Amino acid sequence: MLGDRLSTSKAVREEHGRDIAHPDAQPADAVAFPLTTEEVASIVRICHAEGTPVIAYGVGTSLEGHVLAPNGGICIDLGRMDQVVAVNERDLDVTVQPGVTREALNTHLRDTGLFFPIDPGANATLGGMAATRASGTNAVRYGTMRENVLALEVVLADGSIIHTGTRARKSSAGYDLTRLFVGSEGTLGIITQVTLRVHGIPEAMSAAVCTFEDLRGAVETVIETIQLGVPVARIELLDELMIRAVNQYSKLSLREAPTLFLEFHGSQSAVQEHATTVASIAQEHGGQGFEWALKPEERTRLWKARHDAAWAALAMRPGSTSIATDVCVPISRLADCILETKRDVDSVSVWAPIVGHVGDGNFHLVLLVDRANPAEVEAAVQLNERLVRRALQMGGTCTGEHGIGVGKQQFLLEEAGAGGVALMRQIKRTLDPKGILNPGKIFAADP
Amino acid sequence: MLGDRLSTSKAVREEHGRDIAHPDAQPADAVAFPLTTEEVASIVRICHAEGTPVIAYGVGTSLEGHVLAPNGGICIDLGRMDQVVAVNERDLDVTVQPGVTREALNTHLRDTGLFFPIDPGANATLGGMAATRASGTNAVRYGTMRENVLALEVVLADGSIIHTGTRARKSSAGYDLTRLFVGSEGTLGIITQVTLRVHGIPEAMSAAVCTFEDLRGAVETVIETIQLGVPVARIELLDELMIRAVNQYSKLSLREAPTLFLEFHGSQSAVQEHATTVASIAQEHGGQGFEWALKPEERTRLWKARHDAAWAALAMRPGSTSIATDVCVPISRLADCILETKRDVDSVSVWAPIVGHVGDGNFHLVLLVDRANPAEVEAAVQLNERLVRRALQMGGTCTGEHGIGVGKQQFLLEEAGAGGVALMRQIKRTLDPKGILNPGKIFAADP
């Protein structure tokens, strides 16, 4: 059916069976490269008949082992379904195939005055971002994939095709199937088309960097900004260790201190007003004034450095592997959570620079471990466990944006409770009775 | 178990078995008034064992027959579970029992500087608003219940209790159970606690009224405002017939012409800026200048009149019953949809004033029918069918905010497709295998 668009080459299979955080591949038996929804449906139909696992693949930038194929099966690489199907400029929405990346979409939109704001750093596919409920730096202003997906086309486990949602901005028409598939990590269906909200490019955008005497001052600035309702577009925290890494990697010369990267979107006057408000909050908390990046190329350089932070961290400790953490807490607990975590990090010998989308209460430790050193790996794992339990106790979540995948199944149980996970499993069994869709993710495969 | 908190009185049962749009009661066999989640769970457990229907009731302001009990059973009136459980001022969230009404919540929040913006007009309970995915006049700025519910406590069909979501602003932790229950109309579980986002009261709020030469001018003003990304807090359309009704009912003296009611929230300067922008758009489309309602009491009077529009319409034709329509279309099609509908209304002899949350593309015909006149009722029903199909063809939805209930099941099928509805039914059967939860709503009871 697919001709040379089905590969069983070891290199292709291994490339599709690992992610940054899981370098040891668990390859599928074959990788398919469909071009149409009907081809995806045909592949799934065959796999359904045979009881063969099906693993959807975008571009492999997820972090929780979503693309691993522990039981083999067929990996469906959706990367060649990369067409922008429709741009409805007047409605501020677009419909895309799942393999379109967020950068490709923004390139496509360049002449329309519109942009797609959700930015997880990596140039992920939009199908993958929907499947993992991705967010990133702009979520504090524009929301996550949860808020920005209007409608989906999905191939179900038996190969049937459904459409969820419409292009209407709101609806009370039955169960919210769109939100059921957003964040389902390929375990309930294969997303073959996504309709997304897009936004007008603001009249003015300006970015700024502000350093602080201590971490508390930086975090308190974030908390007050959010509580005041200032509509910052991005407000990102990097601790002094992360700044050191970013300086080295991206050839910057920022002061090695806890730092906020900020961005403001709006009319000229609104941007001015919001920036002034945040600057005065920062000053009260020991902020060292704003350095502005007003020119587009300066802004781009700043955010490129931010996006490369994970790579910068890895480069700071050559030979290390990173374990990403991803808690998100109510904003009032953010200072407690970060400062307690910082003390915890300081008490063990693990390199753990901090970076975070702190406007949402979401931050990451980038745990840099030498995988040849089991004690170090174990210390990092335990540090993460303590961090997750700290966040849960504070009313937070074990994952703000990375998902459950293979590594957080126990944490999901602690967060959602046995009853909540049992209900998720019931839904999984109903939609995928044979358990062929991305087995082993979100919950362990049934015994 | 409940003592006198279980009523079998005919008056109580009938009062709980009808809504404004369905005046002929379909009463339950008894009405229970629980005080705690555990009592709700106990009632549901007994009903589950007996196969007895359970109908959740808030305050009875839904419009699609959600509270009817066609098969009898137990109505659970959650109105006495009316405590505000927690106000987290620093996190801009609250947790409430399901019987707290939106006005009661805002009264409770009065001294905090916070408010809950979602405003469907009626003083509905927050549990009911979550269950029906309600929205209303402020949704264009603040979103609907879909966006503003953070977490839920739910009693499932077997009487078990689960908690969905956390107070974290975002999460990728497994399936989005919160969004599954929001809008499920009491068919998947009974909501016994709701955690909601609340918002800071804006520094400035001002409302305005603007009349237009024709309906097209008013609608084009809305479309351009939304497309420009002006963050209006409310932008409501009333046609000339509705203005006549409102003038009579609320003792106003507005010009009888297509009219927009607007509200702007923000800093003093932002409100000024946004209002100026919209005023100039309106002027280009034949708007007759803005009349400002700057004082709080003027604003309140204006929005009270808007909220009373449905009553005003009924009063305009004494003895009539209203049939509400509720389509929502992509904003680019709003003018086409409203103007074609207006022509359709003019071609039949049905009173049908128009009112709508047009910033979202959502509008209502208030069909005023003499129920003693079958030809008139039939004409109204057919007008609504044509309206829904027009909206679906334009990429819209059959219900922006009222829900499916008993009257829109065929439209849901046309909108979501057989596959989509089959999937909803599978989920329903999985969560409620005995079909005890609000039977006959969203889809017909299984044969």
- Cβ within 8 Å, pair B227-A92: yes
- Cβ within 8 Å, pair A169-B88: no
- Confidence bin at A447 (pLDDT 50/70/90): very low
Number of H helices, E strands in chain A: 15, 18
Token pair for A276: 């002034």
B174 contact residues in A (CB cutoff 8 A): 183, 404, 412, 416, 420-421, 424, 442
Q: Which amino acid is at B32?
A: A
**What does the pLDDT average to over A161-169?**
98
Token pair for A41: 């449906």
Token pair for B256: 């009888």
pLDDT computed for residue B290 by the predictor: 85
pLDDT computed for residue B349 by the predictor: 84
Token pair for A346: 């300081």
Residue with tokens 């078990």: B160
pLDDT computed for residue B447 by the predictor: 46
The partner residues of B55 in beta bridges, in order of sequence, read B75
B204 contact residues in A (CB cutoff 8 A): none
pLDDT computed for residue A435 by the predictor: 97
- Confidence bin at A92 (pLDDT 50/70/90): very high
- Label residue B205 left, alpha or beta by phi (over 0 means left) and psi (-120 to 50 means alpha): beta
In 3D space, the residue among B54, B51, B349, B312 whose CA is nearest the CA of residue B189 turns out to be B54
A420 contact residues in B (CB cutoff 8 A): 162-164, 174, 177
Of A147, A163, A403, which is closest to B417 when you measure between CB atoms? A163
- Cβ within 8 Å, pair B331-A90: yes
B161 contact residues in A (CB cutoff 8 A): 419
Alpha helices in B19-176 (DSSP H): 37-50, 102-108, 126-131, 139-142, 145-148
Distance from the B162 Cα atom to the nearest Cα atom in chain A, whole angstroms = 6
Token pair for B112: 């905090």
Of B88, B176, B408, which is closest to A180 when you measure between CB atoms? B176
pLDDT computed for residue A56 by the predictor: 98
- Confidence bin at B152 (pLDDT 50/70/90): very high
- DSSP-derived letter for residue B346 is H
Token pair for A246: 């970013």
A247 alpha carbon, distance to own chain's centre = 24
- DSSP-derived letter for residue A55 is E
B167 contact residues in A (CB cutoff 8 A): 330, 395-396
CA B263 – CA B137 distance, rounded (Å): 10
CA B447 – CA B378 distance, rounded (Å): 27
CA A301 – CA A415 distance, rounded (Å): 38
The partner residues of B163 in beta bridges, in order of sequence, read B153
- Cβ within 8 Å, pair A424-B175: yes
**What does the pLDDT average to over A144-162?**
98
- Cβ within 8 Å, pair B174-A401: no
**What does the pLDDT average to over B266-286?**
93
Topology of B3-79 in CATH?
3.30.43
**For chain A, which residues make up each domain, given as ranges?**
3-79, 81-200, 204-393
Contacting residues for B411 by C-beta, under 8 A, at least 6 apart: A173, B388, B392, B398, B399, B404
CA B311 – CA B304 distance, rounded (Å): 11
CA B197 – CA B150 distance, rounded (Å): 7
CATH topology match: B83-200 vs B204-393: no
pLDDT computed for residue A49 by the predictor: 98
A183 contact residues in B (CB cutoff 8 A): 172, 174-176
- Cβ within 8 Å, pair B170-A419: no
Distance from the B170 Cα atom to the nearest Cα atom in chain A, whole angstroms = 6
pLDDT computed for residue A446 by the predictor: 62
Backbone dihedral angles phi then psi of residue B204, each to the nearest 5 degrees? -135, 140
CATH architecture for the domain at B83-200: 2-Layer Sandwich (3.30)
In 3D space, the residue among B350, B353, B391, B348 whose CA is nearest the CA of residue B371 turns out to be B350
pLDDT computed for residue A289 by the predictor: 77
A267 contact residues in B (CB cutoff 8 A): 273
The partner residues of B194 in beta bridges, in order of sequence, read B96, B152
Distance from the A11 Cα atom to the nearest Cα atom in chain B, whole angstroms = 31
Of B90, B146, B427, which is closest to A430 when you measure between CB atoms? B427
Question: Contact, A80 vs A99, CB < 8 A?
Answer: yes
- Cβ within 8 Å, pair B169-A328: yes
What integer best gives the mean pLDDT of chain B?
95
Residue of chain A nearest B185, judged by CA positions: A174
pLDDT tens-place string over residues B335-354: 999 999 999 999 998 999 99
In 3D space, the residue among B351, B275, B310 whose CA is nearest the CA of residue B136 turns out to be B310
- Cβ within 8 Å, pair B424-A177: yes
In angstroms, the Cα distances linking A391 to A10, B166, B417 are: 41, 11, 41
CA B215 – CA B237 distance, rounded (Å): 9
CA B375 – CA A81 distance, rounded (Å): 52
A411 contact residues in B (CB cutoff 8 A): 173
Token pair for B315: 């009063």
What integer best gives the mean pLDDT of chain A?
95
Element (H, E) at B288: strand B287-293
Of B177, B332, B362, which is closest to A423 when you measure between CB atoms? B177
User: What's the CATH number of domain A81-200, 3.30.420.480, 3.40.50.1000, 3.60.15.10, 3.30.465.10?
Assistant: 3.30.465.10
A445 alpha carbon, distance to own chain's centre = 24
Of B176, B417, B442, which is closest to A182 when you measure between CB atoms? B176
CA B288 – CA B269 distance, rounded (Å): 23
pLDDT computed for residue B446 by the predictor: 62
Distance from the B83 Cα atom to the nearest Cα atom in chain A, whole angstroms = 20
Distance from the B211 Cα atom to the nearest Cα atom in chain A, whole angstroms = 24
- Confidence bin at B208 (pLDDT 50/70/90): very high
Torsion of CA B420, B422, B423, B428, to 10 degrees: 130
10 Å CB burial of residue B8 (0-12, 13-18, 19+) is exposed
Percentage of residues in chain A having pLDDT higher than 70: 99
Question: Contact, A53 vs A436, CB < 8 A?
Answer: yes
- Cβ within 8 Å, pair B182-A176: yes
CA atoms within 13 Å, Cβ hemisphere of A404:
27
In angstroms, the Cα distances linking B118 to A199, A397, B108, B121 are: 23, 26, 15, 9
pLDDT tens-place string over residues B364-416: 999 999 999 999 999 999 999 999 999 999 999 999 999 999 999 999 999 99
Count of A-B CB contacts under 8 Å: 270
B331 contact residues in A (CB cutoff 8 A): 90-92, 169
- Cβ within 8 Å, pair A397-B173: yes
- Cβ within 8 Å, pair A174-B404: yes
User: What's the CATH number of domain B204-393, 2.120.10.60, 2.60.120.430, 3.40.462.10, 3.40.630.30?
Assistant: 3.40.462.10
**What does the pLDDT average to over A174-178?**
98
